[in-house]
């Protein structure tokens, strides 16, 4: 459990969800917008998903371009650059269990932020689905602000 109130960002943060196509890239992009000048940020998934057009659309609404995001797994990230993070934020139960397993011998903090996957529901109109993605985007942004403080987002 994080301490009460914003604490500022650690040196390196990794956001992890199930597929690295919705929640973790959203969170990483917003964190990068706030704190990219002082912290390194990455995102990964337990499995490798496909880029999600709804994610791209709702992040574009707030001026963040995710059209070039390429989903990556925990293992691929570990092979490419290692898991040299100060904090891993998990956004799904599966990601949390995997992060705890992978980091059991590492000096890294792991926090669980339970977050619904709007990409899991494939019903509803385009507007209803976009509304679900916006809700998750806004929840993640509020959680980032609550945990780390306000940065330069939107400026």
Sequence-distant (6+) residues with CB within 8 A of 97 are: none
Task: Inform me whether the pLDDT recorded for 150 exceeds 90.
Answer: no
Within-domain flag for 11: no
Task: Inform me whether the pLDDT recorded for 115 exceeds 60.
Answer: yes
Share of the chain above pLDDT 90, in %: 77
Within-domain flag for 96: yes
Q: How far apart are CA 22 and CA 15, in angstroms?
A: 11
Within-domain flag for 152: no
Within-domain flag for 124: yes
Task: Inform me whether the pLDDT recorded for 154 exceeds 50.
Answer: no
Task: Inform me whether the pLDDT recorded for 91 exceeds 50.
Answer: yes
Q: What is the pLDDT of residue 119?
A: 81
The dihedrals phi and psi of 53, each to the nearest 5 degrees, come to -65, -30
Give how many domains the chain has, as a whole number. 1
Task: Inform me whether the pLDDT recorded for 2 exceeds 60.
Answer: no
Q: What is the pLDDT of residue 27?
A: 98
Task: Inform me whether the pLDDT recorded for 129 exceeds 90.
Answer: yes
Greatest mean pLDDT range, 5-19, 51-65, 108-122 = 51-65
Within-domain flag for 14: no
Q: What is the pLDDT of residue 82?
A: 81
How does DSSP classify residue 8? Answer: -
Within-domain flag for 5: no
- Name the token pair of 6: 């914003």
Within-domain flag for 43: yes
Rounded mean pLDDT of the chain? 91
Query: Alpha carbon of 74 to those of 45, 61, 63, 70, 122: distances in Å?
Result: 6, 28, 27, 13, 26
Q: Helix 23-35 vs helix 126-148: angle between axes, to the nearest 10 degrees?
A: 40
Task: Inform me whether the pLDDT recorded for 64 exceeds 50.
Answer: yes
The domain that holds 117 is classified in CATH as: 3.40.50.2300
Q: How confident is the model at residue 155 (pLDDT cuts 50, 70, 90)?
A: very low
User: Can you give the residue range of the structural domain that contains 72?
Assistant: 22-145
Q: How far apart are CA 69 and CA 45, in angstroms?
A: 13
Within-domain flag for 47: yes
Q: What is the pLDDT of residue 48?
A: 93
Q: What is the pLDDT of residue 120?
A: 79
């Amino acid at each position: 459990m994080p301490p009460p109130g914003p604490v500022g960002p650690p040196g390196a943060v990794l956001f992890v969800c199930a597929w690295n196509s919705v929640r973790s890239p959203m969170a990483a992009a917003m964190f990068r917008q706030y704190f990219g000048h002082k912290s390194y940020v990455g995102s990964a998934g337990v499995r490798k998903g496909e880029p999600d057009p709804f994610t791209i659309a709702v992040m574009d609404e707030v001026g963040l371009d995710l059209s070039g995001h390429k989903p990556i797994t925990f293992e691929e990230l570990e092979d490419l650059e290692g898991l040299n993070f100060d904090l891993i934020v998990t956004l799904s139960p599966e990601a949390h269990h995997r992060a705890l397993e992978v980091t059991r011998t590492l000096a890294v903090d792991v926090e669980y932020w339970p977050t619904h996957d709007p990409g899991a529901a494939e019903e509803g109109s385009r507007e209803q689905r976009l509304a679900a993605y916006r809700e998750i985007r806004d929840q993640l942004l509020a959680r980032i602000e609550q945990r780390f403080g306000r940065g330069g987002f939107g400026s």
